[in-house]
Homo-oligomer: A and B are copies of this chain.
Amino acid sequence: MNSAAPDVLAQRLADSGLRSTPQRELVYAVLLAKRDHPTADQVFTRVKEELPGISLATVYNCLETLVSCGLVKQVNLERESTRYCPNLHPHAHFHDEITGATHDIDLPPTIFSKLRAVLPPGYDAEGVEITFRGSAKLPAPSTSRESRTATAH
């Protein structure tokens, strides 16, 4: 489905003078495959299925590498494990406090300029994070055709 992803990764790594390794590719593939904002430990579990010998330290290393390449973003809600998100489009997060799930919310581009406008003079924002908390009663989480996210590209 996403045969281009590895190349994107290899390219980005090369740009940063880094090597493409099976571990890095797999970690990235796992993030792209299931965009549920997994923790490092969850990534570890998923990656082990394909590469049983991988170590948790390596997963942390790879995630850090992906973040520094700009391919993945860290998400911190509450004070719990950091979560990882390969969605590079501007978006907000909706944290469902009942299920614990985190959903991406697409945002109209105008919202960012509106938000920047509320900053007093002297404040120069490079980025904005928006996190909703509440509960989502979604019509039907159709596990089949991956309703959310991914689509927008």
What's the nearest-Cβ distance from chain B to residue A37, in Å?
14
Proximity string of chain A (110-130) to chain B, C-beta cutoff 8 Å, 1 when within and 0 when not = 010011001110111111111
Please give, as numbers and ranges, the residues of chain B lying within 8 Å of A54 by CB-CB distance.
Answer: none
Count of chain A residues with Cβ under 8 Å from any Cβ of B? Answer: 39
Q: Do B129 and A125 touch across chains, with their CB atoms under 8 A apart?
A: no
A105 is contacted by which of B74, B81, B119 (Cβ under 8 Å)?
Answer: B119
**Identical copies of this chain, number:** 2
* 25 A-B pairs (CB sep. < 8 Å): A74-B79, A76-B76, A76-B77, A76-B78, A79-B79, A94-B125, A105-B123, A107-B118, A111-B118, A114-B114, A115-B130, A122-B139, A123-B134, A123-B136, A124-B135, A125-B132, A125-B133, A126-B134, A127-B133, A128-B131, A128-B132, A128-B133, A129-B129, A130-B130, A131-B131
| Top 9 A-B pairs, shortest CB-CB distance | A125-B132, A125-B134, A126-B134, A129-B131, A127-B133, A123-B136, A79-B82, A124-B134, A122-B138
Interface residues of A (CB under 8 A from B): 74, 76-79, 81-82, 92, 94, 97, 103, 105-108, 111, 114-115, 118-120, 122-139
